[in-house]
């Protein structure tokens, strides 16, 4: 499968089947915290970057097994980059809705909601999860490093307009990076911007997984909790934080060398697809593939590290697996 990955256990969405629209990273931002890696050359043009026919064909093939479909909570359209840059997004979403009786979610950085065509395409989704990291231009540039011509004021207008016409749920994500977009005036500007939108909830996040730039540092739990409280008080919305109890990395033991193991080829390929999109912990991988616990995952993946297929990196006291470059 080139476009479908998972199902993965998502904290936000439940058991989610991912549809990744791009074979390589295509984005109009180059966020300092990006988990996919740097954007080599930011592009802000919508185009058919991959054939809609092939993506829909994979969806049909995967959904031919009703038992597999029944075990999924949500179908999530995403990308190594920004999925709304795909000009076939609307066709893909409509195809999904015609094929499965499940909610369809789209993850987007929100920048293209200035475009009427994108707003219309997203109408076919049930849940849209847009991002807005900064409402002040200087903070937006510092954190998201946009392609030329992207203006946060226009993006906020686009988000506000979309939020008033979209009939589904909108969960807006804010990712805060220490000393880049977390000043009191940044939060005040975000409150003003979000106050213009009809949102269902806010997902407040910080740098958790290995970022594109080592200088992108997380806020402390205390800072994040205080800002969540402010957003909740001033906007009257539920605010989710990234550190649910289930995420406590207690089981993220320092990997030890292990005996060679036999990971079935199909599961190995699925794990490689999963870590291609974002760095994953042994807990993440075990939650999705049920391999017998995080320690067992460490053992099973050890031969892939030694073979140079996977790379393992410590970040914030936790070990993450990535595809070796
Ligand atoms: S975090 Fe998302 S929007 Fe930012 S550069 Fe990475 S893929 Fe693009």
Domain boundaries of the chain, sorted by first residue: 4-240, 265-323
| 279 neighbors 320 (Cβ within 8 angstroms) | yes
- Summarize the confidence of residues 1-24 as an average pLDDT: 90
Q: Which helix (H) or strand (E) holds 76?
A: strand 74-78
User: What are the pLDDT digits (tens) for 96-117?
Assistant: 999 999 999 999 999 999 999 9
Phi, psi of 73 (to 5 degrees): -85, -35
Token pair 């994500």: residue:
173
Asked if residue 7 has a cis previous peptide bond (ω within 30° of 0), the answer is yes
* Nearest Cα residue to atom 1 of ligand 1: 34
* Nearest Cα residue to atom 2 of ligand 1: 81
Phi, psi of 123 (to 5 degrees): -60, -25
pLDDT attached to residue 261 = 59
Q: How many other CB atoms are found less than 10 A from the CB of residue 191?
A: 15
Given the CA of residue 81, which atom of ligand 1 is nearest to it?
7
Given a cut of 50, whether residue 118 has pLDDT beyond it is yes
| Among 21-25, 72-76, 141-145, the least confident range | 21-25
Q: Output the DSSP codes for 109-124.
A: -SGGGGSHHHHHHHTT
pLDDT attached to residue 156 = 98
Residue 117 token pair: 């065509």
Given the CA of residue 33, which atom of ligand 1 is nearest to it?
1
Given a cut of 70, whether residue 77 has pLDDT beyond it is yes
pTM for the whole structure: 0.87
DSSP for residue 206? E
pLDDT attached to residue 255 = 54
Distance CA 175, CA 190 (A): 12
Higher pLDDT, 171 or 269: 171
> Per CATH, is 4-240 categorized as 3.20.20.70?
yes
Q: Within its chain, how far is the Cα of 291 from the centroid?
A: 24
Given a cut of 70, whether residue 42 has pLDDT beyond it is yes
- Summarize the confidence of residues 31-60 as an average pLDDT: 96
Q: Output the DSSP codes for 90-103.
A: HHHHHHHHHH-SS-
| 324 neighbors 307 (Cβ within 8 angstroms) | no
> Per CATH, is 265-323 categorized as 1.10.10.10?
yes
Angle of helix 294-306 versus helix 282-289 axis, rounded to 10 = 110
40 Cα: distance to centroid of ligand 1 (angstroms): 12
- Summarize the confidence of residues 171-195 as an average pLDDT: 98
pLDDT attached to residue 244 = 59
- Nearby residues of 35 by Cβ (< 8 Å), 6 or more positions away: 209, 210, 211, 212, 277, 278, 279
- Summarize the confidence of residues 77-97 as an average pLDDT: 97
Confidence band of 208 (pLDDT split at 50, 70, 90):
very high
268 Cα: distance to centroid of ligand 1 (angstroms): 26
pLDDT attached to residue 179 = 98
- Give percent above pLDDT 90 in the chain: 71
Given a cut of 90, whether residue 277 has pLDDT beyond it is no
- Summarize the confidence of residues 51-76 as an average pLDDT: 96
User: What are the pLDDT digits (tens) for 217-266?
Assistant: 999 999 999 999 999 999 999 999 987 544 444 444 445 544 455 788 87
Given the CA of residue 80, which atom of ligand 1 is nearest to it?
7
36 Cα: distance to centroid of ligand 1 (angstroms): 7
- Summarize the confidence of residues 161-165 as an average pLDDT: 97
| Ligand 1 site residues, Cβ closer than 6 angstroms | 27, 29-31, 34, 36, 39, 81-82, 109
- Nearby residues of 241 by Cβ (< 8 Å), 6 or more positions away: 204, 224, 225, 228
133 Cα: distance to centroid of ligand 1 (angstroms): 11
């Amino acid at each position: 499968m080139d476009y479908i990955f998972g199902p993965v256990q998502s904290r936000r969405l439940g058991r989610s089947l991912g549809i990744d629209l791009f074979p390589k990273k295509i984005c109009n931002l180059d966020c300092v915290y990006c988990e996919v890696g740097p954007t080599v050359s930011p592009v802000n043009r919508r185009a058919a970057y991959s054939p809609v026919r092939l993506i829909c064909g994979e969806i049909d093939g995967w959904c031919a097994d009703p038992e597999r479909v029944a075990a999924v909570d949500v179908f999530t359209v995403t990308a190594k980059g920004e999925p709304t840059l795909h000009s076939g997004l609307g066709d893909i979403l409509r195809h999904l809705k015609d094929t499965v009786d499940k909610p369809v979610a789209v993850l987007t950085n929100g920048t293209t909601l200035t475009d009427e065509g994108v707003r219309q395409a997203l109408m076919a989704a049930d849940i849209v999860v847009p991002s807005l990291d900064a409402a002040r231009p200087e903070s937006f540039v510092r954190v998201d490093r946009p392609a030329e011509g992207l203006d946060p004021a226009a993006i906020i207008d686009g988000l506000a307009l979309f939020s008033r016409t979209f009939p589904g749920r909108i969960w807006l994500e804010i990712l805060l990076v220490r000393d880049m977009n977390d000043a009191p005036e940044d939060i005040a500007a975000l409150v003003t911007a979000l106050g213009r939108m009809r949102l269902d909830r806010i997902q407040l996040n910080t740098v958790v997984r290995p970022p594109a730039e080592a200088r992108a540092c997380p806020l402390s739990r205390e800072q994040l909790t205080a800002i969540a409280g402010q957003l909740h008080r001033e906007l009257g919305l539920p605010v989710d934080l990234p550190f649910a109890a289930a995420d406590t990395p207690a089981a993220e033991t320092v990997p030890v060398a292990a005996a060679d193991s036999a990971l079935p080829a199909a599961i190995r390929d699925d794990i490689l697809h999963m870590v291609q999109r974002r760095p994953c912990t042994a807990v993440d991988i075990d939650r999705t593939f049920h391999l017998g616990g995080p320690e067992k995952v460490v053992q099973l993946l050890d031969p892939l590290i030694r073979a140079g297929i996977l790379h393992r990196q410590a970040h914030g006291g936790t070990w993450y697996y990535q595809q070796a470059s």
